[in-house]
Structure 1
């Protein structure tokens, strides 16, 4: 048996984690070499009481080593062979190594348990908002969040780190409580929005053609996930539009080069900003393609829209939908757009109106 194997077996025996086979191996080794039996004194000194302290200070380690050395010297005072004394002297360092290994292992084990408990104590809330609904939240720091239909949002029970991190799939309107020491970060699949205290809207549905960040008050920094070195700063009444290609085959090579753009919002009253109209349960659209408006209708009314005539998808429409029912809303759009519709349960079928 090598010295390293002997130390390993002693450490496992002391830590009560040795298997029956390992204990038998250690016993057999000690029986074959009687001179090594004196090292049982070392093992006894290392074990001490069964109830080990939760933590061992350096001075306690030194005291244990001194006690081990005294026992070794005492057991060898009457030894006839000086070679055995030198042998036991070498094993004083072996004992020291075993003790350090054991104490270090115990501390690491305890710290591991503490870390696991710490992780277990982090409670993450995840909110799923169904179609046809919106939901208001107040976060632990006082930040107000409004979630649009079809959104998923997650946040911790408490913001204990140096940042306030939340995750969003869908659309959310944020009024962030100011805290210069703890930036507020909204993580989406395509980008991260970093703020200190401001009012903004993030639209990040997986199936939409674009991901949008609209700033109303304050200042935000946006970092693209695929280009983290690029920092985009938005000022009030600016909107960042990031391409979110659903089908790469449908995008022309020239179009694919445009990764993002920053645009200014129209100079309108606050309640006429179409990007945040949904907060008041409205849909405001100006010269938008029917396909994009249909996606908003699906979320607002909890329906599925099916285009039986694909040419209708690119029709440009304008209007405002407020408190109208689904039938009334479709009737309003029908007045300016040549199409007809039929509703079957939760499915709306759109087709071209015959002349």
Structure 2
């Protein structure tokens, strides 16, 4: 094997594009020529496959490259070379040498680039809020977020990209710091909310019937995940309600329809907006299904509600739960709705009241 053939195989091996036959040929050659094997091990260490630490300093890398160059330049070995094709082999040797340096340089640059990319943007924080609790936090850009019970929220240590991306499963109230050059994006399983600076609420629990975005100040654009070309613009005091497809669709894709609607919020005081009452640890409901209110009770009081009488699920109830205990809250609802309850540990059983 000639020097050029060795360099060619070495370059292919480093670039992970060598065939099984070429790798076998290289292994046999290295066993016969220990000096070549040492050179190969040096270059392989640069790639990070050898025993040498991958975090070599730049001056160490340059020294090894210089060593490889000197070895190649000073070597006169040319095993099994036909004199008739020696000039051709000389050009092949030069080309292969360039290939090796290109491969080593690319690998070194890629390694350094990967290290540089491990910035704060790639350090993600994930917050899990248990039932019975809410949590407030301040993001790196100054944005204030309040998370409802049963929510999971993730965000980077720093917003280094052209957008400020966060992810939410559950419910969050956002007061976004304005930055026209970096839109703020809230990603949920069903939709993406894009804002520049505004105050809004996103409710996106996986088990809820709907996903809701409620805008209080500013302006937001909502993009539906299964129809990204559809952009929905919300103005202050508007709410977007999107059907949450929790079950696989039985219809064909061409027959499926996106179900959503935009509604105006009632003209009430800010502290009477039911969509954001949870921020103050309250539950405000007006003519809502009992089963929907029960889901809010589960989150607020960290309990599981079991309907022993399924007809109770569709009862429409109204009321306000503030600082009441669980027993007191159920008692308030019981005053206007014919049902009875019992509490066993963390489980609440609801049944129809006998006349």
CA contact (8 A) 1:9 1:26 kept: no
Length-normalised TM-score, structure 2: 0.79
Distance 1:174 1:23, change over 3 A: same
Shift of 1:26: 6.0
Cα RMSD (Å) of the superposition? 3.5
Q: Where does residue 286 of structure 1 map in the other structure?
A: 286
Q: Where does residue 158 of structure 2 map in the other structure?
A: 158
Structure 1: 5+ residue runs without aligned partners? 31-39, 76-82
Match of 1:114 among 112, 115, 120: 112
Partners of 2:10 and 2:228 in 1: CA distance:
51
1:129-148 deviation line (CA, Å, top 9, x unaligned) = 00000000100000000000
1:244-282 deviation line (CA, Å, top 9, x unaligned) = 03346999xxxx856100000000000000000000000
Q: Where does residue 33 of structure 1 map in the other structure?
A: none
Distance 1:250 1:148, change over 3 A: farther
Distance 1:321 1:22, change over 3 A: same
Partners of 1:93 and 1:249 in 2: CA distance:
63
Distance 1:4 1:212, change over 3 A: farther
CA contact (8 A) 2:8 2:100 kept: no
Structure 2: 5+ residue runs without aligned partners? 47-59
CA contact (8 A) 1:13 1:23 kept: no
Partners of 2:238 and 2:281 in 1: CA distance:
22
Shift of 1:112: 2.9
1:184-203 matches, within 5 Å, as 184-203=184-203
1:19-39 deviation line (CA, Å, top 9, x unaligned) = 8973533676x9xxxxxxxxx
Q: Where does residue 53 of structure 1 map in the other structure?
A: 62
- SS, match of residue 311 in structure 1: helix
Q: Where does residue 139 of structure 2 map in the other structure?
A: 139
Q: Where does residue 26 of structure 2 map in the other structure?
A: 22
Q: Where does residue 262 of structure 1 map in the other structure?
A: 262
Distance 1:126 1:10, change over 3 A: closer
Distance 1:13 1:175, change over 3 A: closer
1:1-355 matches, within 5 Å, as 6-9=6-9, 11=11, 22-25=26-29, 52-53=61-62, 84=83, 87-121=85-119, 122-247=122-247, 257=257, 259-355=259-355
Shift of 1:105: 1.4
Partners of 1:330 and 1:213 in 2: CA distance:
28
**Which is greater in Rg?**
1
CA contact (8 A) 2:4 2:89 kept: no
Partners of 2:63 and 2:154 in 1: CA distance:
37
Q: How many residues align?
A: 317
1:67-95 deviation line (CA, Å, top 9, x unaligned) = 95xx79x99xxxxxxx94x7333223212
1:207-226 deviation line (CA, Å, top 9, x unaligned) = 00000000000000000000
CA contact (8 A) 2:167 2:187 kept: yes
Q: Where does residue 51 of structure 2 map in the other structure?
A: none
Distance 1:139 1:13, change over 3 A: closer
CA contact (8 A) 2:209 2:244 kept: yes
Q: State which drifts further: 4-13 or 126-135.
A: 4-13
Q: Where does residue 35 of structure 1 map in the other structure?
A: none
CA contact (8 A) 1:304 1:348 kept: yes
Shift of 1:101: 1.6
Distance 1:270 1:129, change over 3 A: same
